[in-house]
């Protein structure tokens, strides 16, 4: 078997077998297949695509290239939730404790952010002394005792994916649906959960800009999960405007806590409740949408989800006083208000512009080595469809001098005001099972 023959086969529209995919992945990880040949193969895949079997086989080979987390020793149903990423997306901070309060086990390995804002781990590190590095023993014990842990990845999970992704990033081959699906699902399968709910973002602030491409990606990932023995479903959710109002790490922690107290933004609460409801249905803990929704809402209203978040902070060494005292979190030195220059209805709040402005302030990373400023970010006060008057507050920029003027201009440009009444997009656009 030669790599060049398999490149030609794929270039001509052929289907790669499991053995051929195994040869290619193992050879690339071992260094026997060079970057230039793998780049050529990736480009051929971008043009010719992969069928469901090829996607499943590629996922499995990337999974088998590294370690896997075995959660079978944990009593209960282990679930996982994954978002394809967006602006102001702090749902894990709400969903994980909410799912735990509903009787599910959330043993979640999360990552750091690259792009607009920090990842889940960066947000949690805004909490003083919060430990994201847990030993396997502590991780498993915590999930057993409080049904919840969100920690950094310690195992060498899917090293083939890391190597392939780095190559895709510099060769213009990131956007092939089959490659994206295999990349995400290799890590999800390795994380050990038996039930996986995917939140696929759609729109201006998402990787997938339109509903058709997002639906294609969601279907591919769901098929991979189900083919490999995991109960998998996906929600397609709107990301034309930021989720909630807070964008930036400490600001998002505050908003997540407010949501767990029952007084957060309605869109964040709606999405979090829906994700947990779907997990309850997928696992069979509830048999109808009405019962699942009621159970999730009850856990939010009775304070049990907030208590799970408090327990997680305490178990992971953090200062749980932040739940009542937000002044313990990092805060920016400077706040600048962005106000409306005209009256009308908010037609657009461009999520990508808000995300890029937050990154300019230091809330996100351009490269993995960049240091994040946990205090900075943006609060969005006006959402699509809102009626506003001249001088009304649109957003507040929280900064520490870095790129402040440029960020403020970018935030101002994100808002589009119309004379006509605007109906905002639905938050949940589709469900794929």
Give dist(CA 170, CA 38) in Å, integer.
12
**Helices assigned H by DSSP within 323-381:** 351-361
pLDDT for 207 equals: 87
Q: How many CA atoms lie within 13 Å of 386's alpha carbon, on the beta-carbon side?
A: 17
DSSP calls for 330-346: ---SEEEEEE-SS-EEE
Active-site residue, 263 included? no
Share of the chain above pLDDT 90, in %: 90
Active site residue 245: no
CB 171 within 8 A of CB 184: no
- For every residue of 51-97, DSSP letters joined together read -HHHHHHHHHHHHHTS-----TTSSS-EEEEEE---TT--HHHHHHH
Exactly one of 80, 161, 238, 240 is catalytic; name it.
161
Q: Is 82 a catalytic residue?
A: yes
Sheet holding 344-349, edge to edge: 387-388, 344-349, 415-418
* Percent of the residues in the chain that have a pLDDT greater than 70, as a whole number: 98
Q: Indicate which residue of 10, 56, 57, 82 is catalytic.
A: 82
What pLDDT, on a 0 to 100 scale, did the predictor assign at position 114? 60
Selecting among 65, 110, 183, 277, the annotated active-site residue is: 183
Q: What pLDDT digit, counting tens, does each position of 281-325 carry?
A: 999 999 999 999 999 999 999 999 999 999 999 999 999 999 999
290-295 contact pairs (CB < 8 A, 24+): 295/102
Quote the pLDDT of residue 351.
96
Tell me the β-bridge partners of 200: 236
Backbone phi, then psi, for 274, in 5-degree steps?
-70, -40
Minimum mean pLDDT range among 11-25, 336-350, 365-379, 409-423: 365-379
pLDDT band at residue 95 using 50, 70 and 90 as cut-offs: very high
Q: What is the mean pLDDT of residues 26-43?
A: 96
Which among 168, 201, 215, 345 is annotated as catalytic? Answer: 168
pLDDT of 88 higher than 80:
yes
Active-site entry in 10, 108, 116, 187: 187
Query: Cα separations (Å) of 365 from 180, 287, 415?
Result: 21, 42, 24
Is the CB of residue 164 less than 8 Å from the CB of residue 324?
no
What integer pLDDT is reported at residue 368 of this predicted model? 67
Q: What local confidence, expressed as pLDDT, does residue 72 receive?
A: 92
Task: Over range 151-165, report the average pLDDT.
Answer: 86
Q: What is the predicted pLDDT for the residue at 170?
A: 87
Q: Which residues contact 304 (CB under 8 A, 6 or more apart)?
A: 101
Closest by CA to 414, choosing from 385, 389, 383, 392, is 383
Which pLDDT score is estimated for 411?
98
Note the pTM of the prediction, 2 decimals: 0.93
Q: Which helix (H) or strand (E) holds 25?
A: helix 18-30
Count of CB atoms within 10 A of residue 417's CB?
A: 19
Q: Is 110 a catalytic residue?
A: no
- What is the layout of strands, in order, in the sheet containing 393-399? 246-247, 377-380, 393-399, 334-339
Catalytic residue list contains 383? no
Domains and CATH numbers, the chain: 3-49 (1.20.970.10), 78-323 (3.40.1030.10), 331-418 (3.90.1170.30)
Cα torsion angle, 173, 179, 180, 185, sign: negative
């Amino acid at each position: 078997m030669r790599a060049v023959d398999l490149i030609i086969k794929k270039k001509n529209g052929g289907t790669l077998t499991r053995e051929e995919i195994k040869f290619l992945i193992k050879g690339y990880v071992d260094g026997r297949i060079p970057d230039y040949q793998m780049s050529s193969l990736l480009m051929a895949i971008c043009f010719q695509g992969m069928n469901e079997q090829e996607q499943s086989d590629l996922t499995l080979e990337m999974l088998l290239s590294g370690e896997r987390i075995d959660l079978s020793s944990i009593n209960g149903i282990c679930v996982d939730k994954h978002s394809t990423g967006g602006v102001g997306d702090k749902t894990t901070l709400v969903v994980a404790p909410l799912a735990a309060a509903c009787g599910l086990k959330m043993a979640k390995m999360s990552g750091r952010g690259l792009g607009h804002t920090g990842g889940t781990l960066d947000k949690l590190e805004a909490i003083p002394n919060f430990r994201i590095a847990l030993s396997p023993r502590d991780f498993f014990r915590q999930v057993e005792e409080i049904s919840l842990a969100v920690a950094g990845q310690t195992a060498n999970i899917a090293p083939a994916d890391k190597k392939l992704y780095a190559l895709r990033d510099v060769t213009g081959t990131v956007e092939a649906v089959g490659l994206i699906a295999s990349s995400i699902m290799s890590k999800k399968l390795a994380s050990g959960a038996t039930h996986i709910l995917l939140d696929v973002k759609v729109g201006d602030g998402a990787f997938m800009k339109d509903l058709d491409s997002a639906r294609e990606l969601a279907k591919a990932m769901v098929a991979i999960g189900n083919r490999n023995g995991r109960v998998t479903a996906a929600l397609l959710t709107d990301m034309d405007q930021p989720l909630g109002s807070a964008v930036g790490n400490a600001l998002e922690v505050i908003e997540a806590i407010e949501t767990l107290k029952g007084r957060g933004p309605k869109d964040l609460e709606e999405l979090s409740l829906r994700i947990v409801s779907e997990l309850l249905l997928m696992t069979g803990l509830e048999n109808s949408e009405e019962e699942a929704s009621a159970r999730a809402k009850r856990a939010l209203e009775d304070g049990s989800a907030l208590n799970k978040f408090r327990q997680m902070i305490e178990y992971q060494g953090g200062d749980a006083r932040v739940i009542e005292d937000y002044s313990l979190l990092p805060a920016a030195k400077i706040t600048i208000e962005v106000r409306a220059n005209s009256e009308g209805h908010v037609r657009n709040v461009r999520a990508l512009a808000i995300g890029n402005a937050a990154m300019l302030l230091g809330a996100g990373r351009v490269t993995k080595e960049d240091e994040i400023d946990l205090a900075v970010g943006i609060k969005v006060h006006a959402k699509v469809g809102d009626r506003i008057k001249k001088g009304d507050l649109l957003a507040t920029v929280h900064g520490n001098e870095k790129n402040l003027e440029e960020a403020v201009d970018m935030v101002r440009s994100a808002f589009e005001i119309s004379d006509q009444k605007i109906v905002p997009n639905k938050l949940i656009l589709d469900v794929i099972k």
